[in-house]
Amino acid sequence: MKHWMMGLILIGCTVVARAKEEYRTFSDTKERTITAKIVDCDLPKGKVTLELKEDKRRATIPIDSLSMEDQTYIKEWYTVNEALASKNLRITTKRKTLKKWETTETGDVLTIDNESYSGAMEETTEFEQIAFDITLQNTSKVLVPKMRMEYKIYYEQAETSTSSDDNEAEQLILEGRLDVAALKQAEKAELQTQYVQIREVEISFDSIFYVDTPPTGAQGDVHGMRARIYLAMPNGEEAMREFCEPSFLSEKEFPWEKPKEEEAE
């Protein structure tokens, strides 16, 4: 670490809106340099918190101790990240059933060879299309620039099976993207994701006899949605804010990205 950094206060902090950026070189007014990235900024107090690449420590320093180029960069970072902060951009979400219907089929099932049942059968399938409504509202006093939203809907579907061992649900993900126009003060953007379709099958029998367990009907479920909003900074980097519905959706079970060891399998 350069000597000009030795007197800084090292802290830990929580970042509300996270900047998607790499480490960069910062220079002070005497042209001494360090490699770091911004993790927080209090522009009204003239302070910025940097994470040092060398040892990942975090340091808070006066913004005016840096070069004019770095000061401009920090102000851009602050403006974009403030726009995504919860106090300035209100996000509400709601799971919504778009359509629901059912079909019924009847017939005779006969025992042939080693089949396990015989007699009359009625199969009722209930279909459901589910999407998520998302509302963004600018609660700040300045314009929120246009944004890009990416989302993932996590759901599962099991098929009808004659064996409980074969009836494990397949875990599925629907990915999508929405573009959001700039929002004026108090303006709202009403958005809706694509829908996923799940089904549940109920099977009833007027059976003569059973050898094994009769078929288990298909089951489906929607676990929830995880979304990220991205806002571009003038230098080409992006700030990001993540949210989910329901708010308690497990990060471990339904992560944005799969762990590397799972991807390798």
> pLDDT digits over 126-140, tens only?
999 999 999 999 998
pTM for the whole thing?
0.73
CA distance 19 to 26: 16
73, containing H or E segment: helix 68-84
Q: What are phi and psi of 72, to 5 degrees?
A: -65, -45
Q: Which residue has the tokens 């970042």?
A: 15
Q: Map out the domains of the chain as residue ranges.
A: 3-84, 89-258
- Region of 160 (left: φ > 0; alpha: ψ -120 to 50; beta: rest) is beta
Can you give the pLDDT at residue 99?
97
- CATH, domain range 3-84: 2.30.30.700
Q: CA 153 from chain center: how many Å?
A: 8
- Checking DSSP bridges between strand 238-245 and strand 18-20, what pairing results, if any? antiparallel
Asked if 229 contacts 177 with a C-beta cutoff of 8 angstroms, the reply is: no
The answer for residues whose C-beta is within 8 angstroms of residue 234's C-beta and 6 or more apart is: 76
pLDDT in tens for each of the 265 residues of the chain? 333 333 333 333 223 345 456 789 999 998 899 999 998 899 999 999 999 999 999 999 999 999 999 999 998 888 888 888 888 999 999 999 999 999 988 876 655 455 555 667 778 889 999 999 999 999 988 889 899 999 999 999 988 765 555 567 899 999 999 999 999 999 999 999 999 999 998 877 765 555 555 666 778 999 999 999 999 877 777 889 999 999 999 989 999 987 655 554 5
Can you give the pLDDT at residue 121?
73
Q: Where in 77-195 does DSSP place strands (E)? A: 89-109, 117-138, 147-158, 170-180, 188-192
3-state secondary structure (DSSP) of residue 264: helix
Q: Output the DSSP codes for 36-66.
A: EEEEEEEGGGTEEEEEETTT--EEEEEGGGB
Asked if 225 contacts 242 with a C-beta cutoff of 8 angstroms, the reply is: no
- Count CB atoms within 10 A of the CB of residue 244: 21
Asked if 187 contacts 134 with a C-beta cutoff of 8 angstroms, the reply is: no
CA distance 39 to 9: 14
- Region of 113 (left: φ > 0; alpha: ψ -120 to 50; beta: rest) is left
List C-alpha distances in Å: 41 to 17, 28, 75, 190, 243.
Answer: 11, 17, 9, 30, 22
